[in-house]
Chains A and B, each alone.
Chain A
């Protein structure tokens, strides 16, 4: 990127833009909720919408590091953690709607669902892997964990395939949308393998694009 472009991207309030973008789907849900725009089956509609938005945000978070490494889009690193947290927030909402509202916090029902349905097992595993990452996402934890922080946050690489598996296992017959996410996640993970990355040749040498997940 030219130095002019770099100077320009520096002035953009990226983190605020990311927050705004992540807030829009939630705002649409609230407005639709108020105007009865969530179909006649609103609980399912909210489950699907929060799941979808959460997945998109998490994939976007996963894309930041390769975008910096390959295209030199350093600004993506400034909101990488934010995207991950917003994505996690939607998934927490997704889980809450499912467990609290749909199943009415009926522990027996929840237990049976979790044990019976492969797609829920995969989703729950993904959520449980993301949970420690969300908790330790603060600077304080980063300092406290030191080098172990980076290792811990590699759990993201396991959580994302599980999340896509969750999606693939829940569609009725049309595997194309989850497959598209599977391909996307696979590419984004492969680009982290240094041998693969070298094929595409990093634009900027010396930038530590692996510093954080």
Chain B
């Protein structure tokens, strides 16, 4: 694990983001077209849709298009503490599991472009002595630090990402959990107007996740406000997301609006959707098989060969004691 002071970034550096976004857009649309080809009936193969153009994208842009962070993506180091190279910024922000926008990972960035994460408030409540609604700018006043973490998706791919944020424990200490508080429940924004994926009622929106209080207080558990030295882009969970690096990626809930201290384990969206496969703990564990994906190995984005998955995603020294004496196969 890495702790660094927030690197100062010269604001004069002009970002090439606009070009990058245009490229992503076109690719996303082309892919959507190709997917439709595959999914549609044979007859659809011959139909030629007009090719999407950059100008047609521009027309759909709303008037409140958020201004992207002008800073160039930077990180204080180019690898994690195990020597794994950082996943490029374009991959981190172009391949996202964020069902509130789309179930297509590479379509999320395009759909999220017009999502404006301000104004934004986060309400901390439940079993606490100091409930409070924070403006996102108040949360940015907590000392921000860079943490380079591995992200392991349950779909058996992984990335190495330099987050910017602060330990959740600091916020929780300010809130003051009462003696009955045993778990923390997180909730994402529920707004089908801004999250088109939420119009699909298949899932029980809003996205909910939970941690045991001691997991939440662990120093690794991060509330992230940025990535690669910039504010979080919408597709990465702007303006505030959780990062729990020893658990499968779906635990790291995005675009948080509520944090409640509670006395019973919260039921997460994924537990409700498919509890047999997605448990409360969801610790990265190569020894606990999943009915679909091979969990003992993973593909690091950008690499061809698979690599071995590490117990607790390589953070065993920091977190194994949380689970002493527990049967991790039963508490999956």
Contact = CB atoms under 8 A, between A and B. Distances in A.
Nearest to A42: B304
Contacts of A24: 37, 45
B30 interface: yes
A88 B251 CA distance: 39
A37 B274 contact: no
A56 B292 CA distance: 22
Interface stretch (A1-9, A114-122, A129-137, A200-208): A114-122
Interface in B275-304: 277, 289, 291-292, 294, 297, 299, 301-302, 304
Nearest to B90: A40
27 contacts: A24-B37, A25-B37, A25-B38, A28-B37, A29-B34, A36-B27, A40-B91, A40-B95, A40-B106, A40-B302, A41-B301, A43-B299, A44-B157, A52-B35, A52-B38, A102-B306, A104-B306, A117-B292, A119-B292, A169-B291, A169-B292, A172-B273, A172-B277, A173-B273, A173-B274, A174-B103, A176-B202
Contacts of B82: none
Interface in B110-139: none
B31 interface: yes
B30 A41 contact: no
Interface of B: 27, 30-31, 34-35, 37-42, 45-46, 91, 94-95, 103, 105-106, 155, 157, 202-203, 270, 273-274, 277, 289, 291-292, 294, 297, 299, 301-302, 304-306
Contacts of B302: 40
Given A39-B95, A109-B297, A60 B31 contact: no
A92 B111 CA distance: 34
B39 A52 contact: yes
Contacts of B105: 39, 41
Contacts of A43: 299, 304
Given A40-B95, A43-B304, A56-B41, 6 more contacts: A21-B45, A32-B34, A41-B301, A49-B34, A109-B297, A112-B294
A54 to B, nearest CB: 9
Given A21-B46, A119-B292, A104 B305 contact: yes
Contact of A57 (B27, B31, B42, B155): B42
A99 interface: no
B94 A40 contact: yes
Q: Which of A43, A53, A102, A172 has the most CB of B within 10 A?
A: A172
Nearest to A83: B42
Contacts of A21: 42, 45-46
B120 to A, nearest CB: 28
A174 B104 CA distance: 13
B41 A172 contact: no
A170 interface: yes
A170 B31 contact: no
A124 interface: no
Contacts of A103: 306
Interface residues of A, number: 39
A60 B41 contact: yes
Given A60-B42, A173-B202, A28 B94 contact: no
Given A52-B38, A116-B289, A119-B292, A32 B274 contact: no
A172 B274 contact: yes
A66 B299 CA distance: 44
Nearest to B27: A37
A103 B299 CA distance: 10
A17 B19 CA distance: 39
Given A39-B105, A104-B305, A170 B30 contact: no
**8 A-B pairs with least C-beta separation:** A52-B38, A173-B273, A21-B45, A40-B91, A39-B106, A40-B95, A173-B274, A53-B38
A173 B106 contact: no
Contacts of B34: 25, 28-29, 32, 49
A36 B291 CA distance: 31
B89 to A, nearest CB: 11
